[in-house]
Amino acid sequence: MRIITTSTAYPPYYFTQSQIADELASYWQHSVDTAILERLHSRTGVDGRYFSRPLADYRALDTWGKANNVWIETALDLGERTIECLIQQSGIDRAQIGAIFFVSVTGVASPSIDARLVNRLKLSPRIRRNPIFGLGCVAGAAGLARAADYVKAYPDQYAVLLAVELCSLTWQRGDVSVANLISTGLFGDGAAAVLIAGEETPDAKSGPRILDHAQVFYPDTEDVMGWDISEKGFQIVLSPDVPSVIRDNLGRDVDQFLAAHHLTRADIGCWIMHTGGPKVLEASEDALGLERGALAVSWQALRRVGNLSSASVLVVLDDVMKQHRPAPGTKSILAAMGPGFCCEMLLIEW
């Protein structure tokens, strides 16, 4: 099971953190203390983010249906660009793609986005489609694991994982809770895709190899992260307990996962972690006993594009693949955590 190539794509609208805070302060001028809003936004570790529309256009997206229509339009555009990039970078025939896994938690469509992309990209009519909704931030890692399972079962085939998250389209303009104020300063829009090859394909000897993966579910933690969904759309659920859950569980779970392969944390030369936010990254560093700088690529991705939910860990993977590729033989842990609450981990060898 090999990761052949990766790609990312973003909408054309990029705004600095101060521009976004100014727009929200204008909208919430009678409901929110501007100083508090600016302080919360300044602590997210984000310099700027991509959005699906110009900031002024969001005021007209006053129903879930209007926002979701923009989600469909933008998701199709970004999905087409990322998958086309995979095909061009790898040189494979698009008819060779045996399965497509699509993950998102910021919009809904039926037919799903993957079905519409089969038509747009002229993919095989026999392709196996796997749309996955609801996993949130963990879905990038979980989708990669599910795609790896597919090519393990069908080793002569390729699979594509596509993650599209358009978090700006979930903004709740009537919600001035601290959780929503933080989310409007943290989450952005973007997409990432990964091409995975089975061991009997012509690419079986190139690219990092997925050795194994595991998911750990934490009982009775449903209220830690997720959405409250109503006629208004997606309202953020973001508990201050998230860093504590990470500190209490991540180190132990990674140790148990590595021990099954007769490895320890000392054997891991590269950590590819979800960019949940400063508190999430700090909690991950603490839980794993990592020196500051070990998650530098994740911190850089957070600063550059914000938290992209499921796409975040794949953006970090893309950066590692293209700019920080480890030496052959180096082992990595790719991990993300999300609603459930749960953790997905993959062991990768370069």
So which residues are the catalytic ones? 137
Phi, psi angle pair for 234, to nearest 5°: -100, 115
**How far apart are alpha carbons 33 and 36 in whole angstroms?**
5
CB 216 within 8 A of CB 253: yes
Opening angle at CA 197, ends 194 and 202, nearest 5: 130
Beta strands per DSSP E along the chain = 2-9, 13-16, 48-51, 97-104, 128-133, 158-166, 189-197, 209-217, 225-230, 233-238, 268-273, 331-338, 342-349
In this structure, are strands 189-197 and 2-9 parallel, antiparallel, or unpaired?
antiparallel
**How is 65-111 classified by DSSP, letter by letter?**
HHHHHHHHHHHHHHHHHHHHHHHHHH---GGGEEEEEEEESS---SS
DSSP-assigned letter for residue 307? B
Structure tokens at 153: 């079962």
In angstroms, how far is CA 284 from the centroid of its own chain?
A: 16
Can you tell me the distance from the alpha carbon of 225 to that of 240, in angstroms, rounded to the nearest whole number? 9
Which amino acid, one-letter code, is at 312? Answer: S
Instruction: Give Cβ neighbours of residue 151 (< 8 Å, ≥ 6 apart).
Output: 1, 98, 157, 158, 159, 196, 197, 198, 199
- Nearest Cα to 245, choosing from 290, 277, 287? 287
Residue 80 CA to residue 173 CA, distance in Å, equals 30
Rg (CA), the chain: 19
Residue 133 CB contacts under 8 Å (≥ 6 apart), including other chains = 103, 104, 105, 108
